[in-house]
Chain A
Amino acid sequence: MSPLADEMKPALAQIDVDFSKCTVPMTCKKCLLLCPQLVFQLVTLKDEKFKETAITDAGAYIVLPLHRWKCTLCGVCAEECPEDAITLTSRRG
């Protein structure tokens, strides 16, 4: 962390993931693998006792841009997403 850590700035990047297009992120996981800043994180929505969730189970997992403040708006996620589910915009307009 930089010495100026207390001077935090809000995220400039707006990242929207369309979950109707991205339904089985663990079969693709391009955004997780390619993001240079590791902005995305996988979240498990379906978690049953004694039962492993199949990665092909639609809607069981989603990717969320949790660390959006680290995004440089390089655009690689939107570019590489095979479902065109990721939209990147700058909040500066």
Chain B
Amino acid sequence: MCDFCVQYGEGTVWHQNPKNYARRMYSDRRKKADRPAGPPPEVASQVLHAQLFAARNDEPEKVPEIRAELVELIAKTHGGQVVTLDEAKEMVDLASPIALMGCVCRRVVRGKVEKRHEFTCMGLGVGMFKWDRWPERYKGGVEFVTPKEAKKWLDKWNKAGYVQTLMIFDAPYIGGICNCDYPTCLAIRYRMDYRLDSFMVKGHYVAKVDLEECNGCGRCFGRCQFGALTKEIFEEKAYVDAMKCFGCGVCQTSCNRDAIALIEKSTWPAMEGVW
């Protein structure tokens, strides 16, 4: 079980718990007196980001301290977790409404403003009715879809190679399914390049290659966004490092010999603490 399941799962996998889709995006409904002192979490996060970049560029020795603070803040506010294609499809059956939109990471990283037919981001929950309050975040508008249509989009993104991830907007509220890659997904990049682990927590599975079935065809090579799957040159087969694997299953869906299985981490005792 991951930390999210322990805290918000109520006996189930936390993203299968309908309660975690039932709150508004980023609205702090606590009474003023109950809110933590200091700046709101969005502002605190921006300040810490700026400090982290400055430290990484010029004073790396200061990075660990800032990183620890930011990791803790992100775990409570705007982290993400890798999910499999099947898990993502279960999520769109739980959450309503479902809206497609352009990816904000690709906009700030590659200047890409996605048009409707090329959207790669999916918002979930009632917050989507208020998207016009934050037009810069949802530039280009949103398009509401049915769960059936949403599943088709998820298939399309998975086939293209994008990793499905859930996005948290003020934990435990799940506000969307992102379709990520390295390096244009900021969450993955912050985890891989800055080791901000709470930005993109590993999923509940790991990929396992069946070395008798794998014929080294190479369909899965290059699909791993986490550097976990490579070609084992000597055996001429796919190799997955379970300790690096995030459990997205993007390698599995490309295999036409069923040579990659997704194993539930809870069945491999030593994987229990690897998130």
Contacts and interface: CB of A to CB of B under 8 A. Distances in A.
A5 interface: yes
B42 to A, nearest CB: 12
B183 A42 contact: no
Interface in A52-88: 52-53, 55, 66-70
Contact of A8 (B63, B113, B183): B63
Contacts of B60: 8-10, 69
A9 to B, nearest CB: 7
Contacts of B111: 25-26, 29, 32-33, 42
B193 A1 contact: yes
Interface in B45-73: 53, 56-61, 63
B109 interface: yes
Contacts of A92: none
The bracket for how many chain B residues form the interface is 20 to 34
A55 B108 CA distance: 13
Interface residues of A, number: 29
A51 B184 CA distance: 26
A41 B109 contact: yes
A26 B112 CA distance: 9
Given A33-B111, A42-B108, A52-B139, A8 B56 contact: yes
Given A8-B56, A8-B63, A42-B111, 13 more contacts: A1-B195, A26-B113, A38-B184, A38-B189, A42-B108, A44-B108, A47-B136, A48-B135, A49-B135, A52-B139, A66-B53, A67-B56, A69-B56
